[in-house]
Amino acid sequence: MCELSNTIADDILLKDILINCRTIAIVGCSPDETKDSHKVAAYLQAQGYKIVPIYPKNDEILGEKVYRSLSDIPFKIDLVDIFRKPKVIADVVDKCIKRGDIYAVWSQIGLVNNDAMLKARKHDMKTVQNLCTKLEHRRLL
């Protein structure tokens, strides 16, 4: 239900998110340069986005302060980009709802949790699943 089907309407939603969301929390942002989460975060940062790494270790990734949880970030986040297993997505969405300032929630390729994304939509957040922010940015912008 929440997965996108690559229609014109879906591309409009993706462009809206990629254009309007300038501060992106990367949940599961690894310090390992070979990991997809690191590569995507580096790409987004190079495109002018403010990235906010969320990771259980390290103090800094890509020159940015690392936070342990979405709830620890003391400033507004526009987009939450998730690189964690599907069962964790529900917890991330709950934290987004609690914050109340998240415009969109995006889970990466292979990560689908329809119930969590439906809950996010019910709280007025835009949602994207099973797509890569880096690849969609390259394709659309």
* String of DSSP letters for 68-114: SSGGG--S--SEEEE-S-HHHHHHHHHHHHHH----EEEE-TT---H
Q: How many CB atoms are located within 10 Å of the residue 99 CB?
A: 15
Instruction: State which H helix or E strand residue 8 sits in.
Output: helix 8-20
Residue 87 lies in a domain: yes
pLDDT of residue 2: 45
- The count of domains in the chain is 1
Report the distance separating Cα 134 and Cα 141, nearest Å.
10
Residue 79 lies in a domain: yes
The SS3 assignment for 23 reads strand
pLDDT of residue 6: 53
pLDDT tens digit sequence for 27-70: 999 999 999 999 999 999 999 999 999 999 999 999 999 999 99
Residue 82 lies in a domain: yes
* CATH classification at residue 63: 3.40.50.720
Has residue 3 got a pLDDT over 80? no
pLDDT tens digit sequence for 93-141: 999 999 999 999 999 999 999 999 999 999 999 999 999 999 999 999 9
Residue 16 lies in a domain: yes
Residue ranges making up the domain that contains 59: 8-140
